[in-house]
Amino acid sequence: MKILHISHHIGCMRDHAYIYNKLGFEFEFWKFPKGLFYITRDIANTIWNERKDYFNKFDYIVTSDTAPLSRIFMENIQELKPIIIVWICNRFDYNMERDMSFYQIFNKIANENKDKFKIIPYSDFEKVWCNVRGIKDILNTITPIGINPIELDYKIDCLNDLQNSYTEDPNAKNSYKNDTELEGKIFIPIYGNDNLFYNLKEILTSNNIEVFNGGYKHSTDLKFCKGLVTFPDAFSKLITFETIQNEVIVFLPSVEYLIKLHPTNNNNTKYWFNCPIGYLNTDLIKYCEWYRYENCRIYFDSIEDLINKIKNLTDEVIEEKRKWCRIYGAEIESTNMNLWKNILI
């Protein structure tokens, strides 16, 4: 079995490297050209004509973050040999909202070509959004697993460029050479809510809490941190699952606090959450993966509560949360490996 995986996202590639390797497949990755997210019919056909002999060597081609990459194959189904798996990771119509021809072909393929195209959301919200936009016939959710063996990194196309896009992000205030430099520190990611809406580094350091504020090179590096704090901006992220598999203590705003924050501004910045159907409410947050595995997380109701919970984190709480990470991690791996096995074998 030969698989080609096309993506913009290092996390998607790493997640699937583990799956393909465990299932015993031959696999390759292709990092799609940087910044090219609007896939017109002409772009799709140009890429197909340049690479169709290469594409047709594979049994399966998987596209992830973003789903419009699948248009390369939807527009050329008559010449297409492999089965295409569209793993929807960031809204199926990301950057395609004004192109009605994309919706037409996506809907046509979803309805009429189920044998050749398997469209799979990576969170339940992606299925909701497909339905809102008129795409009904997609398969059930398969979430990320979050296990990223570092020995498989050599398979990742453009690995250094992808890593650098995180570690050299404009919001990255710190960098590290050795993962042990993260030891005992609270990890603050590069996302806008953590750096612009709130300046978490300033808030925590002014309260005598050691932090690392930047991008990580590999998810296993997070094991060295005392914990990670983030204000969610999407229903699902790869790091949601990577933190579970690496037994990382994650501090998150409570459901009530998150709902309160979403329609507000702070530091001249609006709280961002990738929710195209309105402000967050309790029904919508049910779709957010950060709140699905609650026993392994620590939720706070305010900045003051966050500071208090970090400062009073005990060994007993750490071990309890890590125990639940192991329980959830095994469940996530078993469930999703079986789902992928049923799709691919």
Percent above pLDDT 70 for the chain: 100
Question: Is 87 within 8 Å of 63 (Cβ atoms)?
Answer: yes
Report the alpha-carbon distance of residue 128 to residue 133 in Å, rounded. 9
- Classify residue 27 by its DSSP letter: E
Longest dimension (CA), the chain: 63
Return the pLDDT at 137.
Answer: 85
- At which residue do the structure tokens 């579970």 appear? 244
In which band, very low, low, confident or very high, does the pLDDT at 147 lie, cut at 50, 70 and 90?
very high
pLDDT at 144 over 90: yes
Is residue 43 helix, strand or coil?
Answer: helix
Return the pLDDT at 214.
Answer: 97
Alpha helices by DSSP H, 78-186: 100-112, 124-132, 159-167
Q: What is the pTM of this model?
A: 0.96
Report the alpha-carbon distance of residue 84 to residue 81 in Å, rounded. 9
Return the pLDDT at 136.
Answer: 87
In which band, very low, low, confident or very high, does the pLDDT at 138 lie, cut at 50, 70 and 90?
very high
Output the 3-class SS for the chain: CEEEEEECCHHHHHHHHHHHHHCCCEEEEEECCCCCCCCCHHHHHHHHHHHHHHHCCCCEEEEECCHHHHHHHHCCCCCCCCEEEEEECCCCCCCCCCCHHHHHHHHHHHHHCCCCEEEEECCHHHHHHHHHCCCCCCCCCCCCCCCCCHHHHHHCCCHHHHHHHHHCCCCCCCCCCCHHHHCCCEEECCCHHHHHHCCHHHHHHCCCCCEEECCCCCHHHHHHCCEEECCCCCCCCHHHHHHHHCCCCEEEECHHHHHHHCCCEECCEECCCCCCCCCCCHHHHCCCHHHCCHHHEEEECCHHHHHHHHHCCCHHHHHHHHHHHHHHHHHHHHHHHHHHHHHHC
pLDDT tens digits, 203-229: 999 999 999 999 999 999 999 999 999
Report the alpha-carbon distance of residue 103 to residue 192 in Å, rounded. 30
Number of helices (H), then strands (E), belonging to the chain: the values are 13, 12
Report the alpha-carbon distance of residue 332 to residue 18 in Å, rounded. 13
Residue 270, Cβ density class (10 Å: 0-12 exposed, 13-18 middle, ≥19 buried): middle
Return the pLDDT at 292.
Answer: 96
Return the pLDDT at 345.
Answer: 83
Return the pLDDT at 283.
Answer: 95
Question: Is 282 within 8 Å of 255 (Cβ atoms)?
Answer: yes
Q: What is the rounded average pLDDT of the residues 223-236?
A: 97
Residue 336, Cβ density class (10 Å: 0-12 exposed, 13-18 middle, ≥19 buried): buried
pLDDT tens digits, 13-50: 999 999 999 999 999 999 999 889 999 999 999 999 99
Mean pLDDT for all residues in the chain? 97
